[in-house]
Amino acid sequence: MMTFKSQCVVGFCMWIILSCGLTPACAVPVKAGCEVIGEEIEDFHAQGEAMAIRFPFLEANIWYRKLPVDNSTTFQLFHSKRHDLRNQGHRVIQKGRVLWLLPSLPSDSGTYTYVFSSDTFCLTGSFTMTIYEKGREDMDMMSHPVSVKPDNNLTIECPHINHFNRLESPRWFKGFHAGVPLKNGTHYEILSGDALTIRNVSAEDEGLYTCWLTVIFNNAKYNVSRTWKLQVLSPVTSIPESHTEPTTKSQDVTLTSSNLLPPYITTPVNGSVIESRLGSSLVIQCKAFVADRSPVITELTWLVDGQSVESSHLHGRVFQESRRVSDGHVEALLVFLEVYEEDTRAKLKCVAENLSGKQDVVIQIKLEDSMLAWLVVAPVASFFFMLVVCVFLHLLCRKQHKHNDYILARQNSTF
């Protein structure tokens, strides 16, 4: 936004440009006067359970920027279908920067927008959630994928339950609805309640594993569940080229490197340059196509100068979100809480790998050139300058013309 001020110099007025809003702090995405953080990771749950909606991107920004959280700050939440969340009785409760659904209903699905602000800052972002009706859950979306080779031991933990006030340790089941209870034994071992170990995994162990627990909020009890989807990998077999003809001897289909598609990264394109503004937040998506049968066994990883994000010099300001699997694709997000000039010199690589192959793409961050903004400002400033000059010359000519007429009249007058 340009600011102009009128100032009189040597008898005439001209316009002076005082500021042009080109500083990095003003260059980040802004919505309704608030800096846009971005969209949180989408979440999926079943109806009838207690749910706590949190905002990890916002919390990471508060921690990284060392923003004050006290009586001077406010946190507002809005729903795409219900603009006022406070009129939902005791079922929907906002406590600090967490929204509790007690219990959750399909009508709670939608996009939640938040505004976290004070006198010195304002941040906004959004979170999308889907609550499935009972009996119509999409387990591919709700479950956490995990894969393991046969004859290995696998340990899984009941995820994202630390913020609940629990009355008991989770109970583990094989399956989801009406699952088979699992108990300590030679094959299964429940460690401190939160973790389940499956020993000597075999093909029969493939499927869903659900942990159920009872939580308490305001002296009321609610149920919470989390589900893992286990896929057991078949051993990699080597097939000579002379014996690759199809056979009809067996109808069994095994997942080997011979029938598993290698990953193909669709986003971003290798060699891409991602433009961002200095000081702004940035989320870079890496998405790989791996067909319907292999998403859960494809690894997708971001590297910074050949190192994992956690081991790189960007750690603390940059992190990788957990991968997501959907519709034959695997997706991983690289999140920058704040872009620095040094990020332009980092080699960012996304690597996708499974049993059948590997692909990687390299991208680079580039800071948006402030000269582009001046290219917009300069014509506007030039127009106003020429307009002022034209007005000044017009007024000067009129004044000179009137002065000449007055002198001629006096010469023809009789005293």
Half-sphere exposure of 194 (CA within 13 A, CB side): 8
- pLDDT-based confidence at residue 131 (cuts at 50, 70, 90): very high
Mean pLDDT score across all residues of the chain = 75
Q: Is the same domain home to 125 and 56?
A: yes
Same domain, 270 and 358: yes
Burial letters for 140-166: b for 16+ Cβ neighbours within 10 Å, e otherwise?
ebbbbbebbeeeeebebbbeebeebeb
CB 280, CB 338: distance < 8 Å: yes
Q: Is residue 1 part of a domain?
A: no
In this predicted structure, the answer to whether residue 376 has a pLDDT above a threshold of 60 is no
pLDDT digits (tens, 9 = 90+) for 323-369: 777 767 788 889 888 888 999 999 999 998 877 677 888 999 998 86
Say which residue the tokens 């304002």 belong to: 122
Residues 343 and 273 in one domain: yes
**CB-side exposure of 350: number of CA atoms within 13 Å?**
28
In a domain, 168, yes or no: yes
288 or 375, which is more confident?
288
- Is it the case that residue 235 has pLDDT exceeding 50? yes
What is the Cα–Cα distance from 43 to 254, expressed in whole angstroms? 32
What is the CB-side half-sphere exposure of residue 7 using CA atoms within 13 A?
7
**Pair (268, 339) in one structural domain:** yes
The count of domains in the chain is 3
The structure's pTM equals 0.57
How confident is the model over 229-254, as a mean pLDDT? 47
The residue to which tokens 């916002």 are assigned: 58
Residue 121 structural domain: 29-132
Q: Which of 116, 132, 148 is the last residue of a domain?
A: 132
pLDDT band at 261 (very low <50, low <70, confident <90, very high): low
Of 103, 132, 161, the residue at which a domain comes to its end is: 132
- On whether both 298 and 231 belong to a single domain, the answer is no
CB 351 within 8 A of CB 301: yes
Domain stops at, among 220, 235, 250: 235
Q: CA nearest 55: which of 101, 99, 88, 108?
A: 99
pLDDT at residue 343, rounded to an integer? 92
What pLDDT, on a 0 to 100 scale, did the predictor assign at position 402? 53
Q: Show the beta-strand stretches assigned E in 218-263.
A: 220-232
Q: CA separation (Å) from 20 to 17, 24, 28, 225, 377?
A: 8, 12, 15, 53, 8
Domain for residue 196, yes or no? yes
Residue 8's identity, in one-letter code, is C
My answer on whether 198 and 173 are in the same domain is: yes
Inform me whether the pLDDT recorded for 19 exceeds 80: no
Does some domain include residue 243? Answer: no
- Answer yes or no: is 199 within a domain: yes
Both 265 and 363 in one domain: the answer is: yes
- What CA–CA distance (Å, rounded) separates 344 from 237? 43
143 and 217 co-located in one domain:
yes
Residues 284 and 356 in one domain: yes
Same domain, 64 and 110: yes
In a domain, 9, yes or no: no
- Separation of alpha carbons 334 and 362, rounded Å: 13
309 and 227 in one domain?
A: no
385 falls within a domain: no
Higher per-residue confidence, 262 vs 250: 262
Same domain, 204 and 275: no
Residues 244 and 176: their CA atoms lie apart, in Å, by 39
Q: How do residues 148-202 score in pLDDT, each as one tens digit?
A: 888 888 888 888 887 888 888 888 999 887 678 888 777 888 877 688 899 999 8
CATH number of the domain that residue 217 is part of: 2.60.40.10
- Interatomic CA distance for residues 208 and 225, integer angstroms: 12
Q: Which residue has the higher pLDDT, 85 or 210?
A: 210
72 within 8 A of 64, measured Cβ to Cβ? no
Report which secondary-structure segment, H or E, holds 249. Answer: none
Helices (H), ranges, 73-154: 139-142
Q: Is residue 49 part of a domain?
A: yes
